[in-house]
Amino acid sequence: MNQRLDQTQTPLLSALQAYADRSYAAFHTPGHKRGQGMGRSLIHLLGAQASRADLPELPELDNLFAPRGVIHMAQALAAQAFGAEQTWFLVNGSTSGVMAMMLATCNPGDKIILPRNVHQSAISGLILSGAMPIFVQPEYDPEWDLAHGVTPAAIAAALTQHPDAKAVLVVYPTYYGTCSDLAAIAEITHQFNMPLLVDEAHGAHFAFHPEFPPSALVANADLTVQSTHKTLSALTQAAMLHRQGSRVDSDRISQALQLVQSTSPNYLLLAGLDAARHQMATVGKELMARTLQLADQARSRLSQIPGLDVLQAEQTALSGFWALDRTRLTVKITGLGIDGFTADEILHQQLGVTCELPALRHLTFILSLGNTAADIERLVQGFWQLTQVVEGGGEMGDKGDEGVGWQRLVGEMVMSPRHAWFAATELVEAEQAIARISAELICPYPPGIPVLMPGERITAAAIDYLQQVLASGGMISGCADPDLKTLKVITK
């Protein structure tokens, strides 16, 4: 669509508002009938207007899977605002978008090249599509115990070895805000006439200020998925999938989305996407400039606190760390003599500061357009008070300084995740599971990056790491035994 659209419009949001205000007798879903039958406690939480706006796919509100009206217009506006040729609204989060990208490009048995530190949604995509992963190891920073991005050279090597692959998928940025050289990866991928798929869940804001790393679309990705709720102002679970170029068939994407999304989409989520697009298209650069300023203030002040270290773009020469999103703050706390889970508990429970992601060695904080100068002050003062609470703790020791070593955790991929998912399984003691084939998708969550996945051989290092996360107060998802005393493995 070459014609410039009026970005001050909110077609879907306005239509939902008008219908919520309309007086009529409702004999359609949902059962609470525009809030009339909703429990008082829930109405008190949500408000009467939100209850009235919880509506189904009525004629005036269009249809998500066959859009011709206000959803179609809202998606067209989003495509122009984010720089895509076509955009789909997602109500099942970026998870559904990642799975749809894989279903749209891979048939059962096809190879797909992707980093080992993908989100668990990509493993679900492998199970659903039947594609066979060709894993590329991300660059690992032992000082920070962080897996960053993959390098162009690593992608080129994988493509040379597997020229019959059907697609390349990369994570950009990582949960910690680090970015690969995506334009170089796109150029290499396209030389093999393959589409580049990008899990850009944490980069929806990149398009709206020049001081951010380039968006995946600017870097020439073919498909990219963004969690509009993570860094912009959409409601939780609302996301977008963007396409450009002709390497992936648009109809197949639409069909794939019908497989992985609800047939009863929540219109509050859809309207929130329309509103978030409108906000960014009209005042996004101003909002992002303020957010960057707050982030820079926080980074500078936290760096002056003894015992803390804040991740900086200039701190590493790793080529998998090509750029850093400055609004993502990762703070290493090992100099305080405590682990990240302990620091998180003190900050959250005692000091009123809640991070996005605690890990053994660091805490990660997301700064966005919703943060204020008062938030930054509370963050900085919270860390000063934390140093007083744990004063005299000293360094964590050798084990903490070495990190877990990403490559040490990962076992050999023995069978496809799909075959392992459907294979016969048994429960064994954790110690007996070493060298067996995992039947489970086990992740510390967040960030939801699998340590064990179906079809992969289990290593002793992986079990040790997961048990260390649990012992430190972290959360593990995907395991049948939440205490991790037993593991589900493929029957011999």
Widest Cα–Cα separation across the chain: 69
- Residue 90 near residue 113 (C-beta atoms within 8 A): no
| 8 A C-beta contact, residue 428 and residue 489 | yes
pLDDT mean over 124-141: 95
Query: Which has more confidence, 404 or 340?
Result: 340
Model confidence over 219-243: pLDDT tens digits? Answer: 999 999 999 999 999 999 999 999 9
CB contact at 8 A, 55 and 16: yes
For the residues of 143-203, what is the DSSP string, one character each? TTTEE----HHHHHHHHHH-TT--EEEEESS-TTSEE--HHHHHHHHHHTT--EEEE-TT-
Residue 447 confidence (pLDDT): 74
pLDDT in tens, 157-207: 999 999 999 999 999 999 999 999 999 999 999 999 999 999 999 999 999
Kindly provide the b/e burial profile for residues 33-67, where b requires at least 16 CB atoms within 10 angstroms of the residue's own CB.
bbbeebeeeeeeeeeeeebbbbbebeeebbebeeb
Answer positive or negative: Cα dihedral of 324, 327, 328, 332: positive
DSSP 458: P
pLDDT digits over 364-405, tens only?
999 999 999 999 999 999 999 999 988 755 444 434 334 455
Q: Please write the tens of the pLDDT for every residue from 244-289.
A: 999 999 999 999 999 999 999 999 999 999 999 999 999 999 999 9
Say what the pLDDT of residue 393 is: 53
Q: What are phi and psi of 163, to 5 degrees?
A: -70, -10
Mean pLDDT over each residue of the chain, to the nearest integer = 93
Residue 354 has pLDDT above 50, yes or no: yes
Phi, psi of 81 (to 5 degrees): -65, -40
Is 136 in contact with 150 (CB distance < 8 Å)?
yes
167-180 in b/e burial notation, b at 16+ Cβ within 10 A? Answer: bbbbbbbbbbbbbb
Question: What's the confidence (pLDDT) of residue 474?
Answer: 81
